[in-house]
Amino acid sequence: METDCISENKIKKAHLSGGFTLVEILVTVFVLAFGCLAASKMLTISLKGFSYADNITVATFLAESELERLRALTFAELTYEATHTPVVVTNNINRLGQVCTPPGCDSFIFSRTVSFFPKTPTSFSHQIEIAVSWLDRIGRQEITYSGVVTSFSF
């Protein structure tokens, strides 16, 4: 009879220690859900950062392309453009630098503004400012580049 009691106790212990309790399962599910929530939040923030960095890269490309266009002009052409165009020239352009109108553009339309300043440091250069702005999920963003364009070709 004693052997029956020992084997019965062993069966009860084996039965109780063989599974998980409801509290253990709930704690595990909570920890797993919290980890997944943190990972999804991190992914969302990373995608927003990637989008912002991509837009800054495009804005830099658009400003540099306009600057290179101005550097390629002769001094006479640069002076003519600086004096005969409006002080501020604004173009709505797409990501490739092409002038576009709203129905045919992608969701991020960039606006590039070129400003010429009448007083320049030397007679062979013109001070300019190129501002590129765009509208994204965060709101209106803008990057401004300023400098001097010098032309030694007449």
More confident residue, 103 or 56: 56
In angstroms, the CA 76 to CA 74 distance is 5
Average pLDDT of the residues in 112-121: 70
Average pLDDT of the residues in 97-126: 69
Q: Which of 79, 134, 90, 95 is nearest to 113 (CA)?
A: 90
Ramachandran angles phi, psi of 88, nearest 5°: -120, 125
Both tokens of residue 77? 């052409």
Instruction: Say what the pTM is.
Output: 0.64
SS3 content of the chain, % helix, strand, coil (to 5): 50, 25, 25
Per-residue pLDDT, 4: 56
Who's near 85: CB < 8 A, 6+ residues apart?
Answer: 116
Average pLDDT of the residues in 21-25: 89
Per-residue pLDDT, 27: 92
Q: For residue 44, how many other CB atoms are within 10 A of its CB? A: 10
Per-residue pLDDT, 101: 66
- How many residues appear in the chain? 154
